[in-house]
Amino acid sequence: MPRVTRETARRRAPRPLARRAVGGLAGLLAGYAALAAGQLVAGFGRAEAGPVAVVGSAAVDLVPTPLKTWAIREFGSDDKRVLELGILAVLALLALALGVLATRWRLSGAAGVLAIGVVGAVAALSRPDSAGVTDTLPSLLGAAAGAVLLYLLVGPVYAGAYLPPWVWPGSFVRWRIRGATAPAGPRGTEGNPGGRSREDFEDGTEPGEDRTEPGEDGTEPGEDAAVPAPASVPWDRRHFVLLAAATAVGATAAGAAGRALAGGDIASAVASRDAIRLPRPGSPAHPVPAGARLHVPGLSPFTTPNKDFYRVDTALVVPHVDAGSWRLRIHGEGVREDVELSFAALLRRETVERDITLTCVSNEVGGPYVGNARWLGVPLAPLLREAGVRPPSRGGKADQLVARSVDGMTLGTPVEDVMDGRDALLAFGMNGEPLPFTHGFPVRMVVPGLYGYVSACKWIESIELTTFAAYDPYWVKRDWARKGPIKTSARIDTPKPLARPKAGTVTIAGVAWAQHRGIEKVEVRVDDGRWRPADLAAQDTRDTWRQWSIPWRASPGTHTLTVRATDGAGHRQTAKRAGTVPDGSSGWHSVVVTVD
Ligand SMILES: Nc1nc2c(c(=O)[nH]1)N[C@H]1C(S)=C(S)[C@@H](COP(=O)(O)O)O[C@H]1N2
Ligand SMILES: [Mo]
């Protein structure tokens, strides 16, 4: 019978550092496998319920508004990638720690992995678009797979009790008894009755009792009794490497399979979009006046191409809705009978095409979250009227229209604004093509004059007529104002901040917007000089932005260029600065340049 002596144990067991490293690696592998298994399970259900997606989405919902504002400002549209990387980094650290822990307390490590799965499950249930219990399965089953794998992976280096003594006193008691009968028992037990000392593990002199499966440590079943204390964990490298490799390969395959399954759903949505032939608008937009487009290098184009159009939303997984199965439900206060519209039915209605500039309330002074597109859609007001809805000014009880998207987002719009004659649209076309998925395919709302967060619901699936008193939608619950008319703003596009133009004539140019009121005047000031009126491009409509430019005789030195706009209602922008929360930024945009 191979007697494991203290000496052989010392030789065969991994050194403490190596053991931790192996544990850490086991943790990372188990974590990777958990995520991959979760992705596989999510592939059978909703991609939105993937473990990283649910935690990320819950984080998006939960983070305080200032942090969210900061993230949008700091990372822009990359905020989602950054969040995902952050979550993966945290998970990797946790996995690493649990792996190391598991080399001592095998069950605790595995339980830790399960606990993370439970956090994921809770996050999944907290989502406004949660499909219920099935959404918890990716996190729970993924974590279960990870827990089992961690348990198995650390087997070869496992050198402790199943549970720490403070969790399960039994493991301590058993060890004490064993230690007491063991002549070569662990050092330091006398002076350390409260628990195992570090050295107890690190020198590999473990009581052989709480060990792994028989045989796994190289000893025979029943050998325990014959071996006093020092039977340690022989470091079965082959066992570990095989299991680790199998885990890595299996997890990668599971992850790929999960992605492929999710890809199937996406494919049908993509096919439904490819199949759409946009109707000729019953009421086309009038052509953009030639004078509305200035040709100044560095100036934002009048029409923002779809690929450059800003994107602001909370969707970590872009919804891919099949237009064929899409339905819009209109219901609530004042609706005679619930309306349900298919995409085909929507296209059969009178369609209109309009140029409308969209702006995000999170846009800082001088910021990028504004864009102008040609939208094709169906006017919302007649639809509502047919359903029996009356605006408050005509005695309607509902003053708020709550649009809900397939991802659970809610946006609240004043019914009065939607029905006051402006071109509030259910849009399905954007610059001549079906809406891109990132911009709300198959149908979204667009309401001229209102910030996106109170009007521009993407991936819309229902419209409820209610009151502002009765319901606070998503952003309002997070410190933003109930109503969000767009504030008059102007931005300098060129020269760029910190640019170094040559002395001589420099063209200062940019855009100004005050949707549904129109831009009347733009003025520019250099340093503390007088305000000079800029040349305004022709106005397309009062719902679109206006380009402007002004020549400047630049002299060498550092200069501050400032712009201000006056809207069609006669309101001129003041210097008073406001941040984005709660109802949009205000103040003059300035750019500092150094003329060489
Ligand atoms: N479903 C959904 N719709 C949404 C949002 C969202 O997070 N989810 N964000 C809104 C906000 S804040 C803005 S500014 C606009 C942005 O539209 P865009 O991404 O097409 O530019 O969409 C609005 N519609
Ligand atoms: Mo927004």
Please write down the HEC assignment for all residues of 272-302: HHHCCCCCCCCECCCCCCHHHCCCCCCCCCC
**pLDDT value at position 166?**
57
pLDDT band for 231, please (50, 70, 90 cuts).
very low
Tell me: pLDDT of 554 over 80: yes
Work out the average pLDDT over 154-167: 65
Work out the average pLDDT over 221-246: 59
**pLDDT value at position 218?**
37
Work out which ligand 1 atom sits closest to the CA atom of 361: 14
**pLDDT value at position 234?**
52
Order of all β-strands in the sheet with 400-405: 339-342, 327-332, 460-466, 400-405, 410-414
Contact call for residues 126 and 164 (beta carbons, < 8 A): no
Closest CA to ligand 1's atom 1: 458
**pLDDT value at position 168?**
54
**pLDDT value at position 162?**
54
Strand partners, 425: 379, 446
Closest CA to ligand 1's atom 10: 453
pLDDT band for 310, please (50, 70, 90 cuts).
very high
Burial 487-524 (b: 16+ CB within 10 A, else e): bbbbbbbbbeeeeebeeeebbbbbbbbbbbbbbbbbbb
Residues sharing a CB contact under 8 Å with residue 386, sequence separation 6 or more, in sequence order: 339
- According to the per-residue pLDDT averaged within each range, which of 77-81, 187-191, 211-215, 219-223 is highest? 77-81
Contact call for residues 186 and 229 (beta carbons, < 8 A): yes
**pLDDT value at position 163?**
54
For residue range 312-358, list pLDDT tens digits in order.
Answer: 999 988 999 999 999 999 999 999 999 999 999 999 999 999 999 99
Distance CA 298, CA 549 (A): 11
Mean pLDDT of the residues in the chain: 86
- Cis peptide, bond prior to residue 434, ω within 30 of zero: no
pLDDT band for 521, please (50, 70, 90 cuts).
very high
Cβ(151) – ligand 1 distance below 6 Å? no
Task: Single out the residue of 422, 538, 408 nearest to residue 486, CA to CA.
Answer: 422
pTM to 2 decimal places: 0.82
Tell me: pLDDT of 65 over 60: yes
Distance CA 138, CA 141 (A): 6
Task: Single out the residue of 183, 186, 110, 188 nearest to residue 150, CA to CA.
Answer: 110
Ligand at minimal distance from the CA of 370 is 1
Cβ(358) – ligand 1 distance below 6 Å? yes
Task: Single out the residue of 354, 530, 367, 350 nearest to residue 449, CA to CA.
Answer: 354
Work out the average pLDDT over 3-25: 67
**pLDDT value at position 29?**
97
Tell me: pLDDT of 131 over 90: no
Q: Which three-class secondary structure state does DSSP give residue 575? A: coil
**pLDDT value at position 167?**
57
pLDDT band for 178, please (50, 70, 90 cuts).
very low
Ligand 1, pocket-test mutation among 72, 458, 462, most atoms within 8 A of CB: 458
pLDDT band for 4, please (50, 70, 90 cuts).
very low
